Amino acid sequence: MAVDYDRLDSIFNATMNRRNDRERKRLTPPLVRLWDGNWELRGRVAGEFSARFEWVLNDTGAGEIVLPYNHHLAMWAAHYWDRDTQNIHVTVDKDGARWSGRVSEVTTAQNSEGLRTVTIKALHDYEELKHIQVWPNPFLPAAVQFPKAALLAGPSVYVLKLALFMNLFRLQGNLWRLPDNPLTFEGWTQGLNYKQWPILVKPSLLTLDDSQWTVVSSRFKDFHEMAKDTLADGQLMVVCRRWLIGDPQPWKGANLERNGQLIIDIVDKSGWYSQTAIGGTIAGGLVRSLHAVGEDLVNEWRVATNEVADTPEYGFGDWLGSAPQSPWVVYRTDGKVNTAETTSFTYQPATVGQVTVGGHSMPGVNEGISALVQLAGNLATAFWGFAPQMGGIADTVLKPLYEDVFLAFMSLKNPARTVKLGWSHYYENFEDGADKAYTLSSILALRAGFWKTRSRTFHKLSVGDGAPYLVGDNGEGHFFLGDRVGAQIPGAPDGRVVVEQVSKLELEWAADKPHEWEITVGDMDGARDGVEHALNKIKTLTGAIHDLGVM
């Protein structure tokens, strides 16, 4: 069989061109720009002393730029009295990723030698979601809010997007309030023209949403507070990206024209209900498993599978990224290939094997007993001819004896967890969040109780960009924030690998140091005190029914 050397040469040249192009992009410095409050460009940042920007999974990252005082952008930022708009915005473009945020403070400093610097600190655009409240009914005025709490159920991505969109419409539609400029026709109609909204939700279809189902509730919570547990449970990620003129349209038919509009999307990076890898070994490879939930809707586990998911993206030679159902990036600590520069690994075992919730009888129990006591008392007094009827008096006397006695508590044990913990382990926790047993809120409380006492892993790595994996977004890196990557446990004799989400990324550079990425992999709450985590979890997840007034 004849060898087509021309074809082989063409493939080799194409591969080398892609590699050279990737290397060129990797070495290209970040593009940093400052914008005013109306998203008018003020200039591109160059000549900075240092800079640092971080992406945090489903939370607000921080950014900082240190400039010499005589820099024209430093003086513009520091001289706030000369600016037409007080707000300053920052964008950083690197490896397909865009960090955007609003400046929180500008500090002018002078050292003992007379050197003046201007430090610009900013917060990532995720901070916007902490300042959007989710009303019980966004279509009614604040004085008339019925029902008492917003309660939505369905696929996590669609439900969260719907809640955010309805409240953005409340804010932009000027419902029940005057617009910013009531003397113009556009001020009254801007709610109908999404092209003028500062913040937009990227549309998606309910029928195509296969994310984990959830129930979310809010009674004037901010969106971050309402959504954070649903995002964590389903391994979802909120994507905040500013649209700038010259960028591709964020979705087909968007036809945006206003510079600086913030596009909010929620993406599923879990591979949760499809097979994915959660760990393995260097020699044996990553083990694939499926997620399953028990009939009690609380206990859950992973089931190993030998089937390999079809991942068509990996079939394209020029495609960069990591598919959730088939993660492949693994950093090692054994001094061989793909080695992380520094790494620390933390493991926290699960704690209790049983959770109890409740305190008050389920709805209808106390009321039913009260009705029976009153009926019996009234019938007895009527039979004996007494007046007045004594049913109400009997109920008042007996109520302290029967109230919250029946169906007031519920307890659930996790046998699979107790077997793994061993013969000696912590027995149980009592969660205070659900007042009434055998309700939706009690199920949520049980899940929260087991979730916050689960075992956790936490990896922090310092890695070289392009050694060998590229950090980047939108097809310019092998992985980015929220993607699942593997990391070898230092010193593990079998080369054990744990696969977790990238929960934090930090891009940092200085005048005497090239830009570099630092990544954090795993549950950042794993390093937090367990009692504090428990209180926050229960407070959030069990408030839904209480807000509705039926607990």
Lowest mean pLDDT among 44-58, 146-160, 481-495, 505-519: 481-495
* Residue span of the structural domain in which 476 resides: 275-357+409-551
| Position 525 confidence tier, pLDDT thresholds 50, 70, 90 | low
Three-state DSSP state, 496? strand
CA dist., res. 202 & res. 198, Å (int): 13
Structure tokens at 26: 């990797």
Look at residue 237 in the predicted model and tell me its pLDDT. 94
Residue 303 has phi, psi (to 5 degrees) of: -115, 125
**Best-predicted range by mean pLDDT (187-201, 389-403, 457-471, 501-515):** 501-515
pLDDT at 274 over 60: no
435 with 540, same domain?
yes
CA dist., res. 203 & res. 266, Å (int): 10
Look at residue 531 in the predicted model and tell me its pLDDT. 37
Domain end residue (candidates: 375, 391, 406): 406
**Best-predicted range by mean pLDDT (3-7, 283-287, 292-296, 306-310):** 3-7
CA dist., res. 469 & res. 504, Å (int): 17
CA distances from 91 to 47, 98, 174 (A): 16, 7, 29
Report the phi/psi class of residue 541: left, alpha or beta, with left for phi > 0 and alpha for psi in -120 to 50: alpha
235 with 102, same domain?
no
pLDDT at 426 over 70: no
Look at residue 319 in the predicted model and tell me its pLDDT. 53
Strand pairing category for 354-358 and 428-431: parallel
Per the prediction, the chain carries an average pLDDT of 78
465 with 398, same domain?
no
| Position 444 confidence tier, pLDDT thresholds 50, 70, 90 | confident
Please compute the mean of the pLDDT values over residues 178-184 and round it to a whole number.
70
Structure tokens at 135: 């009303």
The vertex-416 CA angle with 410 and 420, nearest 5°, equals: 125
175 with 236, same domain?
yes
Higher model confidence: residue 175 or residue 20? 20
Number of domains in the chain: 4
| Position 271 confidence tier, pLDDT thresholds 50, 70, 90 | low
Look at residue 240 in the predicted model and tell me its pLDDT. 96
Q: How many residues does the chain have?
A: 551
Look at residue 17 in the predicted model and tell me its pLDDT. 77
CA dist., res. 302 & res. 467, Å (int): 32
CA dist., res. 23 & res. 524, Å (int): 31
Q: Partners of 101 in the beta sheet?
A: 90, 124
How many CA atoms does the CB half-sphere of 88 hold within 13 Å? Answer: 25
What letter would DSSP give residue 332?
B
Domain end residue (candidates: 406, 441, 470): 406
Domain end residue (candidates: 114, 130, 146): 130
- Helix then strand then coil, % of the chain, to nearest 5: 30, 30, 40
| Position 386 confidence tier, pLDDT thresholds 50, 70, 90 | low
316 with 385, same domain?
no
Structure tokens at 442: 């009690």
Structure tokens at 436: 């009434």
Higher model confidence: residue 190 or residue 149? 149
